Amino acid sequence: MNTEIFGVALMFLLTVLLAIPLGRYMGKVYSGHKTWLDGLLNPLDKLFFKAGGIKPEKEMNWKQHLVALLTINFVWFLFSMLVLMMQGSLPLNPDANPSMTADLAFNTSVSFISNTNLQHYSGESGVSYLGQLILMLFQFISAAAGMAACVVVFTAMKEKTTDKLGNFYNFFIKSLTRILLPISIVVAVILAFNGTPMTFKGKDQFISMQGDTVNVSRGPAAAMVAIKQLGTNGGGFFGANSAHPLENPSYFTNIIEDVCIILIPIAMIFTLGYIIRRKRFAWMVFGIMTIGFLLFVIPSIYLEMKGNPAITQMGIAQNLGSMEGKEVRFGSAASAYWGITTTVTSNGSVNAMHDSFTPLTGMFCLLGMMVNSFYGGVGVGFLNFYIFIIIAVFISGLMVGRTPEFMGKKIEAKEMKIAAIIALLHPFLILVGTALASYLFSHNPTAYASWLNNPGNHGFSEMLYEYTSSSANNGSGFEGLGDNTQWWNISCGIIMLLARFLPIIGPVAIAGILANKKYVPETAGTLKTDTGTFGIMIFAVIFIIAALSFFPALSLGPIAEYFGLHQ
């Protein structure tokens, strides 16, 4: 069997095998059950509770949860703006990198608190070591905030009537100390021993074999790379992200980093099964998400291994597949696999340049972000999926003439309204953003000539990708786009902000309202939500809402480019 294909198959298998026990462990952590790390980490938790003046046993209703979440995010935003706009004159800046402009700092701050990690700067020159450390902090806490919001929804799905949904700070802190921190330490150490730098020394200089003078960027990368992979963050230390040989030195580290991308998103599904005690339901969700994932990843691997038809026409051997923008040590299969894992989750780190993928692989990356819930970001991926479940329950209820019920709670007009708004928000933000940018560009192509790195359909795809990535809180890019301008910094910033917080507020509100309703025990007449039939129903809803609303835009971009290449 081809070693490249064997490599990616093993990566996926390994991830699932690790995610099942991790999900169970996370379920125990959030339920307050005993785990083997208690002895070591209880003091750390207590430190957090004491310092923050938090009583973890004090339960909150869904509104209090949201206020707590939004307040702390607002504090993070101000803090981040302050550091990024002053980093040039703050300590830990051996390479003398400048402070950020206001619009770039706005974009970067929103990008990191919203778990997006869209980067309109380049790591080597755009940010000091202090800036990197603060951005790394956001990679921890924004991921933990998303996980905490998700656990609120899990708690609300339990079979009882209550408005008490646990303590936000408790979920938040435990996500940090019990899940993200321990795994990050392990991963960072593995990376450091495999060649990723971990130092506070500045650039090094040497004379190469051919006599060129070469400057080498280094820095405290290993610590950051671990959490950027694990927390579906994706913001790399170096400009080329995980394609950079120091950020991702070998095929071995590539396996570790890629497993980390989808580890927690998959584990979260099994956490759900543990918390609400419905393993069958968790497996149904896992099944749907996995089918969706495989539908994207298999054709992408095939297409990248097959190569670029335009280069085949030149008569060049493409035994390695399409190699533009890829690294030899990963090969085209592992690059395509990464491309899909990073876009179906909201990670957004890259080990190959997505701009140079063959057209349809680019489209599958876009679709991964458009659906944004085939595993999805840590925590928020399931929140998106939850919206699709609510809609599917409602539609199937109407189809069979039964009251739509989910987990013993009636779904009524109010919940449906929220679900419909949230489901339509994502296409709205992406398509309006792309339409505005296309309008500006096509009416003044000379003034905006620096925007696009590629002409024609591919140029359109670059703009579509940027807004899709912003709205999916993904952070990867068709990096040919000249995106450090006021237009892109501000428009993407606003989209990231709306697309982060509204899709958290919506599902938490629905779950909170449902939890407060009377519990109706299941009868023979109840629609079963843990069956394959219902799974197909969810899949159809996702396909109709997420995929079809984007079809016109996709046909102007990647699909048109595909047919152009295959004339």
Partner 1 sequence: MKQHILPAIKLTLLCVVIFCGAYSLLILGIAQAAPNKGEGQTITINGKIKGYALEGQSFTQDTYFNGRPSAAGYNAAGSSGSNKGPSNPDYLKEVQNRVDSFLVHNPSVQKGNIPSELVTASGSGLDPDISVEGAMVQSARIAKTRNLSEEKIKALVTQQIQKPLLGLLGTVKINVLQLNIELDKLK
Site string for partner 1, 173-192 (x = CB under 8 A): x--x----x--xx--xx--x
Q: Specify the residue, 91 or 525, whose C-beta has the smaller distance to partner 1.
A: 91
53: left (phi over 0), alpha (psi -120 to 50) or beta: left
Stretch that binds partner 1, among 64-72, 376-384, 388-396, 400-408 (CB under 8 A): 64-72
DSSP label of 128: -
Residue type, 475: G
Stretch that binds partner 1, among 209-217, 416-424, 487-495, 529-537 (CB under 8 A): 209-217
Measured distance between the N- and C-terminal CA atoms of the chain, rounded to whole angstroms: 32
Stretch that binds partner 1, among 2-10, 156-164, 273-281, 401-409 (CB under 8 A): 2-10
Closest CB 263 distance from partner 1, rounded Å: 18
In 3D space, the residue among 2, 13, 1, 7 whose CA is nearest the CA of residue 294 turns out to be 13
- DSSP secondary structure string for all residues of 492-514: HHHHHHHHHHHHHHHHHHHHHHH
Query: Does 198 interact with partner 1 (rule: CB under 8 A)?
Result: yes
E strands along 45-155, which residues? none
Residues 263-282 that bind partner 1 (CB under 8 A): none
User: What is the SS3 assignment for 204-259?
Assistant: EEEECCCCCEEEECCCEHHHHHHHHHHCCCCCCCCCCHHHCCCCCCCHHHHHHHHH
Closest CB 279 distance from partner 1, rounded Å: 32
Q: Cα–Cα distance between 358 and 364 in angstroms, integer?
A: 10
Contacts 24+ apart (CB under 8 A), 48-55: 48/173, 48/176, 48/177, 49/169, 49/173, 52/169, 52/173, 54/167, 54/169, 54/170, 54/173, 55/167
Query: Does 122 interact with partner 1 (rule: CB under 8 A)?
Result: yes
Q: Specify the residue, 79 or 448, whose C-beta has the smaller distance to partner 1.
A: 79
Residues 444-473 that bind partner 1 (CB under 8 A): 453-458, 461
Site string for partner 1, 359-398 (x = CB under 8 A): x---------------------------------------
Stretch that binds partner 1, among 35-43, 52-60, 406-414, 486-494 (CB under 8 A): 52-60
In angstroms, the Cα distances linking 162 to 84, 194, 390 are 43, 50, 19
Q: Cα–Cα distance between 344 and 376 in angstroms, integer?
A: 6
Stretch that binds partner 1, among 72-80, 289-297, 392-400, 484-492 (CB under 8 A): 72-80
Query: Does 213 interact with partner 1 (rule: CB under 8 A)?
Result: no
Closest CB 270 distance from partner 1, rounded Å: 26
Closest CB 502 distance from partner 1, rounded Å: 19
Q: Cα–Cα distance between 431 and 436 in angstroms, integer?
A: 9
Query: Does 52 interact with partner 1 (rule: CB under 8 A)?
Result: yes
Closest CB 80 distance from partner 1, rounded Å: 10
Query: Does 306 interact with partner 1 (rule: CB under 8 A)?
Result: no
Residues 82-121 that bind partner 1 (CB under 8 A): none
Residues 320-349 that bind partner 1 (CB under 8 A): 320-331, 334-335
> Buried b vs exposed e over 485-524: b needs ≥16 C-beta within 10 Å?
beebbbbbbbbbbbbbbbbbbbbbbbbbbbbeeeeeeeee
Stretch that binds partner 1, among 41-49, 149-157, 440-448, 502-510 (CB under 8 A): 41-49
Residue count, binding to partner 1 (CB under 8 A): 121
